[in-house]
A = this chain, B = another copy of it.
Amino acid sequence: MKKNVGRKLGIYPTPVVVVGTYDKDGKPNLITLAWAGICCSEPPSVQISIRRERYSHKAIMERRAFSVNVPSVKYLAETDYAGMASGQNADKFKAANLTSVRGELADAPMVLEFPISMECRLTHCVEVGSHDLFVGEILACWIEEEVLQPSGRPDPQKVAPLVFIPGSEYFALGELLSSAYGPGKKLMRE
């Protein structure tokens, strides 16, 4: 039996991404977000949602660009930190001992140490409420060669992404269950 627990955010799970921006003075900054995801296949696009008062919000509005970086579980402390500190008064790359790499196509810094980094161009900004939703078109996706499979796809277990449960806890990726477009086929015939 189900119970109405009110207006709760029940999406289980969400990703954990670290977004890179340059501020007006060109200082690279980071913010960790779980209110994020894919929102379009063509052009390939992501959505990231940020409170208007956050330092990264202004940087995205000014530069109309950002990077989306996927941390591995071994960078849990660095990732958690980048969600708590503010770029207004901290150099988060320095404090977290992470390396900033200038994007080639978007005016945003990427995180060298993380296995996946995407350069994004801002295409839409939607005022939803406490958060503005930014849509970014992916101009390039950089993958650490050590996690790439012969197929050209990253190995999910080698990427070892963080998995977030709102409320809020970090989990690891669990076991592989199946490929998509497989287990449902038996129901297609009925």
A residues with a Cβ closer than 8 A to B are 1-15, 17, 34-47, 49, 51, 68, 70, 73, 76-85, 95-96, 104, 112, 116-118, 123-124, 126, 128-131, 133, 135, 138-145, 148, 152-154, 156, 159, 161-188, 190
Given contacts A83-B184, A162-B177, A128 and B124 within 8 Å (CB-CB):
yes
Cα distance, A131 to B49, chains bound together (Å)? 18
Residues of B close to A128: CB separation below 8 A: 39-40, 43, 45, 123-124, 135
Is B175 a contact of A39 with CB atoms below 8 Å?
A: no
In the A-B complex, the 8 residue pairs with the smallest Cβ-Cβ separation, listed nearest first, are: A37-B37, A81-B184, A80-B184, A172-B174, A174-B174, A40-B128, A81-B187, A8-B141
Complex: how many Å from CA A190 to CA B77?
A: 13
- Asked if B9 and A138 make an inter-chain contact with CB atoms under 8 angstroms apart, the answer reads yes
Copies in the complex: 2
Assess A141 versus B7: contact at CB under 8 Å? Given A161-B13, A183-B76: yes
Q: For residue A77, which residues in chain B have a CB less than 8 angstroms away from its CB?
A: 183-184, 186-187
Choose one: B4, B43, B80; the contact of A183 (CB below 8 Å).
Answer: B80
Residues of B within 8 A of A42 (CB): 129-130
Cα distance A53–B170 in the bound complex, in angstroms: 36
